[in-house]
Structure 1
Amino acid sequence: MFIAIGGIDTLDEKQLLARKEIFGENTLPERKKKRFWEFMVDALSDVTLIVLIVCGILSLILGLTIEKDKTVGWIEGASILVAVLIVVLISSLNDFQKEKQFRELSAIKDDVIVSVTRNFKRMQIPAKELLVGDLLHLSTGDIVTADGLLLKGYDVKVDNSSLTGESEPVEKSPNEDPVIYSGTKILAGYGILLVCAVGVRSQTGIIHRLVSSNASISAQGKKRTSEHKESEPTGESTHLLSEEHKYSSSSSSDVSEPDESVIEGSGSVLQKKLEDLAVRIGYFGMMMAVLTFLILVIRFCIKTYTVRRFDVADLAEFLKFFIVGITVLVVAVPEGLPLAVTIALAFSVKRMLRDKNLVRHLDACETMGSATTICSDKTGTLTTNQMTVAACEFAHVQKDCLQYDKAPLGRTSKDIVEQIASVNSTAEVPAITLLFGEIVIHSVSTIQQVLIEDDGRCEYLGSSTECALLYFLRVHNIDYAKYRKTCEVAKLVTFSSARKRMSTIIYLPQEEIYRVLCKGAGEVVLGRCAFLYREDTGKGPLTPELRDYYQQRIDDYAQKGLRTLTFAYKDLSKETFEARGANTDFVESSLIFMGIVGIKDPVRPEVVNAIKQCQKAGIVVRMVTGDNVLTACTIAKECGILDADYSFFSVMEGPDFRNRVTEADGPFMTALLLSSLLIF
């Protein structure tokens, strides 16, 4: 059977619907919703209410048979039954609303957005709308939401611990091991996955069925344990089942059951204390109820039977005393005390959701009340994550530089393109091709970077840094799609927080050479450059004076709060690439410096006031970021985390921090932790 691939074949609406009917949707069977009357049945299962119902019925019977005035004798029994009905309705309504809240929160929690290519278009859709044949774009940190084959990938490493229990990363490649299962996590690299199985047919669905069937077998096994020993799961299956909880909690494709335990947690400290208090009060209430009943009975017996003998009508009095005792018990037992906290927290979560703050565990609301320190990321948390190229500088003849220091980018003049192009005097190594081509090819290599135009409006998909560079090309009328179609990627060395750079090696068939394009943190890439692009020869030595100059420019950008990126390149012959292309250190050494780009990421307008409120409450706010130290300090001062006259000890880089807080054998040295540290 031939299956059209959504990314490279055009599919109309009927074909998409047919595919959904044949292969299913990317959802799992939902747990059956409890109806309102089922909550009423659960509420009526309370022993106290059952006793009250029995007492109400007996009181009603006695009132209609033994009481002298039968016209009003039924009122007490009917009142008890009506009171029980009201309690049951209120309790059922609370439980019904609570489950509804948890279902809504669970749906939001599992509403994962994925990036796919369908009908030649790159788009972002909910994971539950994935269909077989779609091209799913994966990047570092993603949870795979469907089973599929890796069609294209660079240094892809997958965490299969949710399936196999093995913590070691597994390398995936299109040729050797292309199968990737749902629920696994992408630890490194980038790739495009052809979706082959979704929903109940995916690995998530298989485990879901195993667990469901195992639960049914366990329920039946209580009656027929000895007869069904041979039907127990094998060791491998048992291991899969034991991993299901961890799997379901980490897999973003499991959008079926709103597991209250995931959202509500195992109970906060306050809830546990309230439950313990409710039990203690319940014991005390039971003692008082029994004592009240005994006192009333003894008092009635002394007062009545010293005068006359027992009469059948006295049973009604004893029943009244019993009802009074039960009433005392019902009033004294605060069974709704822990529930009140849960309901209050659930409604608080809904309120916070309006502020774009999803709380996955209710007890987190209580825990955060005890927080003394907040360690916050910078990009996207303290800043808007809407980046634009605000400044750039490219190598010119000898020490001269082309400077561009205007923001926002929308005001950019096209003259800069002509000036950059004027650097190129040879057809052999055109500067504008190198620079713009490097931006495009890098964005292609990371796979998730796309810029879509829709009715003149730009929509960004993927890394905001890469999108800022693509928009930079768009402003200068550079067709990045052309580069994507023509370039042949031979190798990609992915970005990591430790390396702070990435490199792409492309093959140029006309020149029969391989070109290394490197992009990364300003000071890191500059440190690996040995040459500078020159107009006459294509490259010249990067002298210490020039290196100091460009390092100063990087620092200047950083002090303005700009994220700096340095671009460099290097050409390799076919023989050199075949012999030493696998050596990353060699490939990324002796590079030719091309230029610097400064990217602006504005601080969120509400951040300054929020940090002031935290500091007023005695909470220390720290910034944790992988950016340049000077850039981070500028943003920290802008946010109010650092004062204008901050000390040297307020800023620390990762290696220094780890050296200070750990000994040689590993344990933390808490005595060295300073309360004023700003961690990088």
Structure 2
Amino acid sequence: ILAAVAAVVFTNAINDYQKERQFRKLNAKKDDRCVKLLRDGREQEINVKEVQVGDVLLMEPGDLLAVDGIILKSHNITCDESSATGESDAMKKDTTERCYVISGSKVLDGSGSMLVTAVGTNSFFGKTMMAMREATPDETPLQIKLDHLAEAIAKLGMAAAVAMLFTLIVKYFVQLALAGKGLPTSDVIFSDLVKIVIQAITIVVVAVPEGLPMAVTLALAHATTQMLRDNNLVRVLSACETMGNATTVCSDKTGTLTQNKMTVVEGTLSLLSFSFMDGAKTWMAEARKDVSEIVIESIALNSSAFEDKDEQGNLAFVGSKTESAMLGFIKSLGASYSTLRADVNLAKVYPFSSAKKTMSCVVESPRGKEPYRLYVKGASEIVLRLCTHYVDAEGDIKPLDGQARAKFDQIISQYADKALRTIALSYRDVSASEFKKFNDEEAPNDKLICLGVVGIQDPLRPGVVESVHDFAKAGVTVRMITGDNLQTARAIAKNAGILLKGGLAMTGPEFRALSKADQTEAVKRLQVLARSSPTDKTIVVRRLQELGEVVAVTGDGTNDGPALRMADVGFSMGITGTEVAKEASAIVLMDDNFSSILK
């Protein structure tokens, strides 16, 4: 028995040590990361751990903010808060209405400064981390079953021992009476009774399956090594068997089901349509060369995004997600934005305006009909109103009459129904005399020629549709819980095969407003929950558990942390996942692949 107990203890300890060591390697950060700030009236560069409340932090594109703060100066600052809030859209920050910045955000564009208001455990990121550590794990389904088994065996063994004890004592005294020799001395009777009690105790000892915990522990330890080969890093040993009993999977959208990387997925340029990158290359071959050159030049020059190395040393686009998607589009077509920018002189730039929803630039155009060319891009319906002509399938410029406008409106409507973000591209040639009349404040967006419309979306990860289908065949229901808007969530859920006929899609505030009984009833049909907060996610998990479901939760953001911890088994993303998500999860998907859960 002692050997069995020792084996269980050592197996658990060694396994936990190995997994925690691998997890720490996976989650290692650069402790010497420095930030720029103003302290004592001068600019300093200090370690991120030494930032204090009251410091003025300087913000630049690419910065990962480790503290909460209030914007003091903003020059078109745009932040990505998807890891903290689940909202995939970039958030514009200013000094009035949208002045609060939370830790975990990444500066995509612009520059400025912020007053630090919370650091460490008092920041948004820190509070979430501390909440993860306070939670206590519940018993797993296998532990509950083993407890019931052990209790049943104990009761049966005890009953058998008592019955045997009673039977042997009766037999002992009956045999003494039948022998007719009288009662032996008390010492002999006591010795014989002790032997009978030992026999009864032996039954109890034999009945207890002391080898069962060791067998289960060894089996689970072996399972963790097997799962590691399938890119599943198991941090909690019992999570292996829990996942085998899962009846529902609640998945985040951004970064889990989707790639958290805005991409051009559809487009109609010079009235030639394409889908995904293979179709774009076909469009490149079919479109007239001078038209495709104008399109590529328009995207490359009329943009403030650029390519740089990320934290892992990989090349990635820095700037607005929409502009990064556009640059990624022309890069896949074999064009180099940096070469184009180096070869062309920018005469004027009109940055993106949230009021006008457009961005414009004027470039010198030695090969064009006029010495200058104006490029304009922006919200499709707004840019289309500024256009008077368009480029047709043959590459000819035609007047944008009522019929042509209706055609473009139909294209925009089709893309909107698929929850695509539509961007229109346009241009016009500008004479030298007209260029002199341009001012630096008001973009001359009129009499434009429409090049076409592209649809941008955060696409599904490869294999997600097949995985959802396989889950359904195994009797496991997949639900999407996201911070994104309802229309986008519906479209993605339909594409993934999550939102089916009869399924319920609603927003977090709507779900939160329901009574407990109504929430329990709604969660039975719930397949999509949009605009959800971390609280909404935990409520859904709790209601499902109350219905007897074994719940698995997948997520990569800070906002997924509470739900990952509360779930019976939590999956986080090893590459793109935040530290909070990994800390809260029981299993880390090393390859960030939703399909790895099935393995």
Looking at structure 1, the residues matched to 67 and 474 of structure 2 have their Cα atoms a distance apart, in angstroms, of 45
Change (3 A) 1:179 1:393: closer
User: Does structure 2 retain, via aligned residues, the 8 Å contact 1:149–1:178?
Assistant: yes
1:133 pairs with 2:34: yes
Q: Tell me, yes or no, if structure 1 residue 100 matches structure 2 residue 14.
A: yes
Q: Deviations over 1:392-414 (max 9, x none)?
A: 4446xxxxx57677825567758
The partner residue of 2:185 within 309, 315, 318 is 309
Counterparts in 2 of 1:16-27, with a 5 A limit?
none
Partner Cα distance (2:486, 2:268) in 1: 18
C-alpha deviation, 1:479, in angstroms: 0.8
> Which residue of structure 1 aligns with residue 129 of structure 2?
247
Distance in 2 between residues matched to 1:612 and 1:327, nearest whole Å = 53
In structure 2, the CA distance between the partners of 1:473 and 1:245, relative to structure 1 (3 Å rule), is closer
1:553 counterpart residue number: 411
- Go from structure 1 to structure 2 and tell me whether the alpha carbon gap of 1:134 and 1:325 turns closer, same or farther (over 3 Å shift): farther
Given the alignment of the two structures, is residue 328 of structure 1 paired with residue 173 of structure 2, yes or no? no
Alpha carbons of structure 1 residues 467 and 244: separation in structure 2 relative to 1, 3 Å: closer
> Which residue type is aligned with residue 133 of structure 1?
C
2:338 maps to amino acid: D
- Amino acid corresponding to residue 436 of structure 1 in structure 2: A
One of 77, 94, 98 as aligned partner of 1:154: 77
C-alpha spacing 1:138/1:351, structure 2 compared with 1 (3 Å) = farther
Judging changes above 3 Å, is the alpha-carbon distance between structure 1 residues 128 and 266 closer, same or farther for their aligned structure 2 residues? same
Structure 2 SS opposite 1:129: coil
- Listed as ranges, the matches of 1:543-622 within 5 Å are 544-554=402-412, 565-567=422-424, 595-598=452-455, 606-607=463-464, 609-618=466-475
Q: Does 1:436 align with 2:292?
A: no
TM alignment of 1:210-221, pairs within 5 A: none
Report the alpha carbon displacement of residue 91 of structure 1 after superposing the two structures with TM: 1.8
CA–CA distance in 2 between the matches of 1:674 and 1:303?
Answer: 67
How far apart in 1 are the matches of 2:59 and 2:202? 62
Q: Deviations over 1:615-636 (max 9, x none)?
A: 4445566778979989987995
1:497-556 deviation digits (Å, cap 9, x = unpaired):
xxxx9968799999xxxx99765xxxx6425752127599xx999765444222333466
In structure 2, relative to structure 1, the CA distance for the partners of 1:298 and 1:269 (3 Å cut) is same
- Please tell me whether residue 371 in structure 1 is matched to residue 247 in structure 2: yes
CA distance in 2 between partners of 1:477 and 1:187 (Å)? 26
Paired position in structure 2 for 1:479: 338
RMSD: 7.1
Question: 1:353-386: CA deviations, max 9, x gaps?
Answer: 54445677746964774636x6667776667789
The 8 Å contact of residues 156 and 190 in structure 1, kept in 2 or not, is answered as yes
**1:326 Cα offset (Å):** 3.6
CA contact (8 A) 1:517 1:569 kept: yes
Asked if the contact 1:172–1:178 (Cα under 8 Å) also holds between the matched residues in 2, the reply is: yes
Q: How does 1:115-194 map to 2 (within 5 A)?
A: 126-133=27-34, 154-156=77-79, 184-186=103-105
2:419·2:457 contact (CA, 8 Å) conserved in 1? Answer: yes
- Between the aligned partners of 2:214 and 2:127, the Cα distance in structure 1 is 25
Task: Tell me the TM-score normalised to structure 2 length.
Answer: 0.50
2:327 aligned with 1:470: yes
3-state SS of the aligned residue for 1:128? coil
Letter in 1 for 2:129: Y
Distance 1:557 1:419 in 2: 26
What is the CA deviation profile of residues 89-121 of structure 1, one whole-angstrom value per residue up to 9, with x for unaligned ones?
222222222233344445566666xxxxxxxxx
- How far residue 478 of structure 1 moved from its aligned partner, in angstroms, is 2.2
- Selected match of 1:265 from 137, 154, 173: 137
Separation in 2, partners of 1:662, 1:149: 30
Contact 1:562 1:601 in 2 (8 A): no
Separation in structure 1 between the aligned mates of residue 174 and residue 64 of structure 2, nearest angstrom:
76
Selected match of 1:275 from 147, 155, 166: 147
Contact residue 388 and residue 408 of structure 1 kept, 8 A: no
Could you tell me which amino acid in structure 2 is paired with residue 247 of structure 1? M
Cα separation, partners in 2 of 1:620 and 1:282, compared to 1, 3 Å? closer
Q: Deviations over 1:262-311 (max 9, x none)?
A: 7x922135534543553464466456546655765676577679464355
Query: 1:531–1:541: 8 Å Cα contact kept in structure 2?
Result: no
Q: Partner of 1:530: helix, strand, or coil?
A: helix
Match of 2:381 among 514, 526, 530: 526
Cα 1:632–1:552 change in 2 (3 A) is farther
Query: Compared with structure 1, are the counterparts of its residues 178 and 530 closer, same or farther at alpha carbon in structure 2 (3 Å cutoff)?
Result: closer
CA contact (8 A) 1:530 1:542 kept: no
Q: What is the SS of the residue equivalent to 1:266?
A: coil
Q: Which structure would you say has the larger Rg? A: 1
| Structure 2 unaligned residues grouped into runs of 5+ | 37-47, 49-57, 85-90, 365-373, 392-396, 428-434, 531-599
Cα 1:605/1:553, change in 2 over 3 Å: same
- How far the C-alpha of 1:467 sits from its partner, in A, is 5.7
The number of residue pairs the alignment matches comes to: 461
Amino acid at match of 1:553: I
Offset of 1:144 from its aligned partner? Answer: 6.0
Q: Does the 8 A contact of 1:563 with 1:599 survive in 2?
A: yes
Identity fraction in percent: 23
Distance 1:132 1:676 in 2: 43
Higher RCO, 1 or 2 (CA under 8 Å, sep at least 6)? 2
Deviations 1:623-662 (Å, cap 9, x if unpaired)?
789799899879957x6679xxx9xx6799x7xx559x95
User: Judging changes above 3 Å, is the alpha-carbon distance between structure 1 residues 338 and 488 closer, same or farther for their aligned structure 2 residues?
Assistant: farther
Cα pair distance change 1:309/1:605, threshold 3 Å:
same
| 1:4 match | none
Which runs of no fewer than 5 residues in structure 1 stay unpaired?
1-86, 113-125, 162-169, 195-201, 208-239, 251-258, 396-400, 424-430, 495-500, 578-587
Give 1:20's aligned residue. Answer: none
